[in-house]
A and B are shown apart, each in its own frame.
Chain A
Amino acid sequence: MSDEIGDSMAGMGRGVEAAVRVPPYDVVVRRLRRRRRRRVGIGGLALAAVVAIGITVVPQATRHPSPPLQTAAVRVAPPTGTGTLSLDDVSFLGPRDGLVLGRRCADVCRDVSLSTTDGGDHYGPEVPMPGRHRYVAAGGDADVAYAPDLAVRPAGAAGWTSIDVPAPVADVAVAAGTMTVLLVPPGEPAQIWTGPSAPTTWTQFRPYAVVAGSDASARLVVAGPAPVVVSTDGTPRIATLDGQIQGAGPAFVETPLAVCGAGSRPSVSAVSATTWWVACRGERTAAGAEEVAITTDGGGSYSNVGTVPSQALNLSVVGVSPSTAYLYGGPELLVTHDGGATWRTALSEAGLGAPHVPPGQDGRDVWVVAPGLTTIYRTVGGTWTGLRLR
C-alpha cells in the first residue's frame, strides 16, 4: 500500500472517520423499533385485506440471509463433539503443546479442555472441567484453570481436580514447581498464597503475603523470582517483593505507578525481572490515545512510548520482549516491534483476549482467541490463520 492512490484513499478514510460524530446508541434501538412498527403496520394491513376477502394465510417472518463470513480461509479442526464449542482461553506448555479451555453447548452446556501436541492442527478428546474457568495456564508439572475457582491437572493425569479456595482467584502463576495464587476476598485486601504446583488439596497451600489496599482488579505479575502486584484502588501503584519467596510475611515494596494517572487501572506485563510494559487502562493522553510505558529498571523509572493508533480505552498489554508488545481489548489487536515507537494493527478482530506466545519461539508464533467465540487465530511470521474448532 505504498502507492499514492492507496495512501490517498486511506487518508480520505481517516479524514471522514475523524470528522464523523458517533450518534447516541439509541439511534439504533429507535431504528429497529421503527422497522418493527412498519412491519407490524404492513402485516396488519395485509391481514385486514385477507380477512376482508375471506382468505386465510400464514404470515412468514422476513428473512435476511447472513453474509458469507466463514469460508475456505478458515481451517476446521476434526469434529470432537456435537453442538457448538466456544473458547475461553489458550495456553502453552511447549512450542507445539497447547491447551484450550472452552464450553460446548448442545442441549446443555459443559465446560471442557482440549490439548494439542502438534501445534494446533489436531486436538485430543475433550476433557470435562469441574466448573467454568476464565483462564488456563500450562505449568511444568501441572496445568491450572482459574478465575473465579481453581482446578489443577497434574502432568500425566487424565482429568482435572477442583480445589476449594477460600476466596475468588484473580490470577495464578506457575513456575519451577511452585504455584503462586492471588486471592481477592470481597471487601478485604488481596492475599497471595503459594504451594506446590500440583496439589491435591488447598491445605497444601499457605498464606504468603497480604497486599494492602488491593481490589478485585489486582493482577499478579511474575517478574523473575518475585511476584509483582498491580494495585488499582484509586491510586495505581506496583507492589514488588524484595527478594526470593520465603516463609510467611515478606514485605512488599510499594511504589506509585506515577506514569499512570489516578483512577487508571494499569495493565502490567513483565518480560524479565527488570523490563515491564505498562498500559494505563482507562486514561487517555492529550492526543486521545491510551498511555503506554516501559520500564527497564524494575520500576525505578518509566518512559512513555509512541502514540497508540486507537481511540479504544482499556487496552491491556502483553509484552514479548523489550521491543515487541501487543495491546488487546479494543476493536483490534495492536503490535509494536520497535519498543512502542510505532504501533500497527496485527489482527482486525474485535473482542480478542490476551495473545499467548509459546515458549521458545522468540515471539514469532502468537495465538489468540476471542472469548465466547469459536476460532483460534494463530500467526507465524505475520500471516494469521483462523482455526475454527467444531
Chain B
Amino acid sequence: MAEGLQDLYEASYRRLVAQLAAMTGDVAEAEDLVQEAFARALARWPQVRGCDNPEAWVRVVALNLARSKWRRATRGAAVMLRLRASHQEAPPPSPDHVTLVEAMRKLPAAQREALVLFHVADLSVEDIARQLGIPAGTVKARLSRGRAALAADLGQGTDAIEVAS
C-alpha cells in the first residue's frame, strides 16, 4: 500500500528533523512534527508518491504543522494572559541551546524559515520559492534581512549573500 514510503522515511527522517529543529529550536518537537507529517503522507501516499518530490511534500507539511502549532501556542498564550491577568515569563532556553538557536528564535518565522531551507536544507532560492509559493525575490529579501538580523545579534559583520540556483 505504501511502497516506497518506508525508504523515503529511512532516507530523509534525520535530515528533515535537523531542518525542523533549526526552525523550531527543539529537536523533540521537530521529531514530533516530522513523524506527524509522515503519518499524513502515509494516509495519502498514492497522491504524495505522484508528486515530483515526496520529501519536499513531507517537509512542507511539517513546516505547516509547525506554523499551526505556533499560532495555537500564541492564541493559547493570549487566552492565558487574559485569564490570569498577569504576564508569565517564558522559561529560559535550556543550557544546551546554542547562541545561534537563541538568535534564530528572535527572528520572524518567515525569515527563519527561509534561512533554514537555504542553509540547512541546502535548497536553492528557486526551490524555496516554489515550495513556499512565494516569489524568488521575496525569498532573497527574507534571507538578506534574516542574515543581517542574525549578524547584528551575534556581533558579526554582514556579507553579500551568495545565492546559488
Is A349 touching B17 in the complex (CB atoms < 8 A)? no
Select which of A8, A67, A348 is within 8 A of B123 by beta carbon: A348
Is B52 touching A373 in the complex (CB atoms < 8 A)? yes
List residues of chain B with CB within 8 A of the CB of A5: 100, 119, 147, 150-151, 154, 156
Mark each residue of chain A from 349 to 390: 1 if its CB lies under 8 Å from any CB of chain B, else 0. 111000000000000000000101111000000111010100
Q: Quick check: is A17 within 8 A (CB to CB) of the other chain?
A: yes
Q: Quick check: is A9 within 8 A (CB to CB) of the other chain?
A: yes
A84 nearest in chain B by CB position: B50
Least CB distance, A288 to chain B, in whole angstroms: 13
Bound state CA distance, A77 and B56, in angstroms? Answer: 23
Bound state CA distance, A67 and B55, in angstroms? Answer: 12
Bound state CA distance, A16 and B14, in angstroms? Answer: 8
Mark each residue of chain B from 127 to 147: 1 if its CB lies under 8 Å from any CB of chain A, else 0. 101111100000000000001
List residues of chain B with CB within 8 A of the CB of A72: 130
Interface residues in B30-83 by Cβ distance below 8 A to A read 30-31, 35-36, 38-40, 42-44, 47, 49-57, 60-61, 64
Number of chain A residues whose Cβ lies closer than 8 Å to a Cβ of chain B = 56
Bound state CA distance, A69 and B126, in angstroms? Answer: 11
Is B14 touching A22 in the complex (CB atoms < 8 A)? yes
Least CB distance, B47 to chain A, in whole angstroms: 7
Bound state CA distance, A68 and B51, in angstroms? Answer: 11
List residues of chain A with CB within 8 A of the CB of B19: 13
List residues of chain A with CB within 8 A of the CB of B133: 67-68, 71
B41 nearest in chain A by CB position: A28
List residues of chain A with CB within 8 A of the CB of B5: 28
Is B60 touching A9 in the complex (CB atoms < 8 A)? no
Select which of B9, B115, B164 is within 8 A of A9 by beta carbon: B115
Mark each residue of chain A from 77 to 98: 1 if its CB lies under 8 Å from any CB of chain B, else 0. 0000000101000000000000
Q: A67-B57, A67-B131 are in contact. Are A25 and B6 (CB under 8 A)?
A: yes
Q: Quick check: is B89 within 8 A (CB to CB) of the other chain?
A: no
Select which of A4, A29, A68, A350 is within 8 A of B11 by beta carbon: A350
List residues of chain A with CB within 8 A of the CB of B49: 372
A374 nearest in chain B by CB position: B52
Is B100 touching A12 in the complex (CB atoms < 8 A)? yes
Bound state CA distance, A375 and B147, in angstroms? Answer: 33
Select which of B9, B119, B150 is within 8 A of A25 by beta carbon: B9
Is A27 touching B120 in the complex (CB atoms < 8 A)? no
Is A373 touching B120 in the complex (CB atoms < 8 A)? no
Q: Quick check: is B106 within 8 A (CB to CB) of the other chain?
A: no
Is B14 touching A312 in the complex (CB atoms < 8 A)? no
Is B162 touching A2 in the complex (CB atoms < 8 A)? yes
Is A370 touching B52 in the complex (CB atoms < 8 A)? yes
Least CB distance, A157 to chain B, in whole angstroms: 33
Is A22 touching B13 in the complex (CB atoms < 8 A)? yes
Is A386 touching B22 in the complex (CB atoms < 8 A)? no
A379 nearest in chain B by CB position: B165
Is A1 touching B60 in the complex (CB atoms < 8 A)? no
Bound state CA distance, A16 and B35, in angstroms? Answer: 16
Is B64 touching A67 in the complex (CB atoms < 8 A)? yes
Is B18 touching A17 in the complex (CB atoms < 8 A)? yes
Is A16 touching B17 in the complex (CB atoms < 8 A)? yes
Least CB distance, A34 to chain B, in whole angstroms: 8
Select which of B53, B159, B165 is within 8 A of A69 by beta carbon: B53
Q: Quick check: is B101 within 8 A (CB to CB) of the other chain?
A: yes
Least CB distance, A362 to chain B, in whole angstroms: 20
Bound state CA distance, A13 and B22, in angstroms? Answer: 7
Beyond A13-B19, A32-B43, A388-B52, 13 additional pairs, beta carbon < 8 A: A1-B162, A12-B120, A13-B119, A22-B10, A23-B13, A27-B35, A64-B61, A68-B60, A68-B132, A69-B130, A70-B130, A331-B11, A370-B52
Interface residues of B (CB under 8 A from A): 4-6, 8-15, 17-19, 21-22, 27, 30-31, 35-36, 38-40, 42-44, 47, 49-57, 60-61, 64, 98, 100-101, 115-116, 118-123, 126-127, 129-133, 147, 150-151, 154, 156, 159, 161-162, 164-165
Can you offer 15 A-B residue contacts whose CB atoms are under 8 A? A6-B147, A9-B22, A9-B100, A9-B116, A12-B22, A13-B116, A17-B15, A20-B14, A28-B42, A31-B36, A35-B43, A68-B133, A330-B11, A373-B50, A384-B165
